[in-house]
């Protein structure tokens, strides 16, 4: 039985564009998917004021998550100023204990965006806290089975994928869900639509699937313990 995927991103678009197809595939296979965004990405539009854009981003995330059969959750730290510290680590720890994911997807650390770097670090620590029974919170401890890092155009320094996931069955649905975001259509400058739909084609070519998502597993999780090969 496929587990729950918890996709933890700095900004809502990162969650849906870089982790959304994997979450949708998990749901299609009988698992669950949750998108947790650490901010609303409210400062990302050149013309729409942050308060208004944040609400647009929230609505887009909820609409897209619903289309994929997933849940959307938000921690509304300020876009561009996602802090490092125990307050946010414990906030994410509580979300992990609430949704009990088997798999966590998040940003790779090799990013030029400080919110993405911080999200990567926060998630590692939150997974550690969530698993420790001695850390008493409202909910009991939960151990995440695996963590994977998503392929994101802003996080490509030293990104080396080792896992390819076939997302052909949900490719079209995922594209339709992403279209809920103004930024998907290029309104904020970068051509997200063209980039991520082509990326799934390219990763599909390399993996022998029609469409695929490439993920990077955590170096600590690559160890295998075998009695024979
Ligand atoms: Zn971002």
CATH number at residue 95: 3.40.50.10320
Residue 149 pLDDT class (50, 70, 90 cuts): very high
pLDDT single digits (tens) 52-74: 999 999 999 999 999 999 999 99
Cβ-contact 136, 143 below 8 angstroms: no
Say how many domains are in the chain.
1
Q: Which residues surround ligand 1, an ion (CB under 5 A)?
A: 10-11, 14
61 CA distance to ligand 1 centroid (A)? 14
Domain presence at residue 207: yes
38 CA distance to ligand 1 centroid (A)? 10
Number of Cβ within a 10 Å radius of residue 165: 17
Domain presence at residue 228: no
Position 2 scores a pLDDT of 85
As a whole number of angstroms, the distance between CA 1 and CA 6 comes to 16
46 CA distance to ligand 1 centroid (A)? 15
Residue 93 pLDDT class (50, 70, 90 cuts): very high
Predicted confidence (pLDDT) at residue 1 exceeds the cutoff of 80: no
Domain presence at residue 9: yes
Region of poorest pLDDT, from 84-93, 94-103, 180-189, 206-215: 180-189
Residue 144 pLDDT class (50, 70, 90 cuts): very high
**Range of the structural domain that residue 170 is part of:** 4-220
Domain presence at residue 226: no
144 CA distance to ligand 1 centroid (A)? 23
26 CA distance to ligand 1 centroid (A)? 23
Domain presence at residue 229: no
Our CA angle for 199, 224, 200, nearest 5°, is 5
109 CA distance to ligand 1 centroid (A)? 12
pLDDT single digits (tens) 198-217: 999 999 999 999 999 999 99
Domain presence at residue 111: yes
Predicted confidence (pLDDT) at residue 20 exceeds the cutoff of 80: yes
Position 224 scores a pLDDT of 83
80 CA distance to ligand 1 centroid (A)? 9
């Amino acid at each position: 039985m496929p587990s729950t995927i918890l996709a933890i991103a700095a900004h809502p678009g990162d969650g849906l564009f870089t982790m959304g197809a994997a979450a949708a595939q998990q749901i299609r296979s009988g698992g669950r998917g949750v998108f947790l965004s650490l901010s609303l990405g409210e400062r990302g539009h050149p013309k729409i004021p942050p308060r208004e854009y944040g609400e647009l981003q929230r609505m887009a995330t909820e609409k897209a998550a619903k289309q994929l059969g997933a849940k959307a959750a938000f921690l509304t730290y300020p876009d561009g100023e996602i802090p490092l510290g125990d307050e946010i680590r414990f906030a994410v720890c509580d979300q992990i204990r609430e949704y009990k994911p088997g798999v966590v997807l998040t940003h790779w650390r090799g990013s030029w965006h400080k919110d993405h770097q911080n999200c990567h670090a926060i998630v590692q620590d939150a997974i550690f806290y969530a698993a420790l029974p001695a850390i008493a919170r409202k909910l009991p401890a939960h151990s995440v089975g695996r963590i994977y890092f998503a392929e994101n155009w802003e996080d490509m320094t030293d990104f080396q994928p080792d896992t390819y996931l076939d997302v052909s069955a949900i490719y079209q649905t995922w594209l339709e869900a992403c279209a809920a975001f103004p930024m998907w259509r290029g309104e904020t400058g970068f051509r997200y639509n063209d980039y991520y739909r082509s990326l799934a084609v390219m990763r599909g070519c390399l993996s022998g699937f029609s469409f695929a998502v490439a993920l990077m597993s955590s170096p600590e999780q690559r160890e295998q313990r075998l009695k024979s090969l």
